[in-house]
Amino acid sequence: MKPISYVTGADRGLGLGLVQVLLEKGYKVYAGSYLPEQDELRKLSREHPNDVIVLPLDVSSEESVKQAREVIAAETNVLNLLINNAGIAQDRSGTILEPQYYEDIRALYEINTLGPLRVTQSVIDLLLNADRKMLVNISSVAGSVQELVRIQQYGYTMSKAALNMQSKMIHNHFKDQGLKVLVVHPGWMRSLLFGDIERMKDAPFEPIQSARNIVKLTETETEINEDIYMDHEGNRLPW
């Protein structure tokens, strides 16, 4: 029986790369989609109709998350891997001496922090039913309090720090039941995370490279321990 995974934010960039790599590794993938105009994910589903299931998914909507869960639960009672990848980075907020765009900050929390919480809660029972089970939350080094040097982008950094706290709480709750939690900084990629590929053109690698590294971590970082925050190459990060 194929292992079963669920990836959010799967339309493009890192999310699409994760779907591609998991498919190569023999997974059946439920792929959460927020951008139906992006055709690559749908093309992949047409080529692999039994193994790539596209689900409309807005992680900021409780109803959307619930509907996605219903589709998955109608087909399986087991989930081996959940990757909370959906996220945004657009944050116009400057330093504390400059304007703060609170609508940006609220949107960042809604998607980057509450989105993973909604999705994880919706399928936690399916994860716990699996013999081998893992939760991967795509975070950022920007969420590290100890490593932080920036003085602006309050919304993005705080949303990722809060996601890190959420991840540690879930780890604390379910480690004795065998749920492995990873909190991963995916690295600086040539992606549309900030809404503008031109801004990311000098990034050192493509999202598919990070996706391959992250999936490799799911294969190698299987021991339940307290070192759960790391970059995509497995280097540990301080909280």
Tokens of 47: 């080529």
Token pair, residue 198, equals 């031109």
**168 CB-contact burial (10 Å; exposed 0-12 / middle 13-18 / buried 19+):** middle
Whole-angstrom distance, CA of residue 39 vs CA of residue 130: 32
Q: Give the rounded percent of residues in the chain with a pLDDT score beyond 70.
A: 95
Is-contact 157 203, C-beta < 8 A? no
Given a cut of 80, whether residue 204 has pLDDT beyond it is no
Query: For residue 217, what are the CA distances in angstroms to 3, 60, 91, 192, 206?
Result: 16, 27, 29, 24, 18
Please state the rounded mean pLDDT for residues 152-177: 98
User: What pLDDT digit, counting tens, does each position of 79-103 carry?
Assistant: 999 999 999 998 899 999 999 999 9
Query: Which of 178, 169, 58, 68 lies closest to 129, judged by CA?
Result: 178
The DSSP result for 150-163, as a single string, is --S-HHHHHHHHHH
The label of the residue with tokens 């081998």 reads: 132
User: How far is it, in rounded angstroms, from Cα 90 to Cα 200?
Assistant: 13
Average pLDDT over residues 31-58: 97
Average pLDDT over residues 104-118: 98
Average per-residue pLDDT for the chain: 95
Domains with residue ranges and CATH for the chain: 4-231 (3.40.50.720)
CA 23 to CA 176: how far, in whole Å?
29
**Prediction pTM value:** 0.96
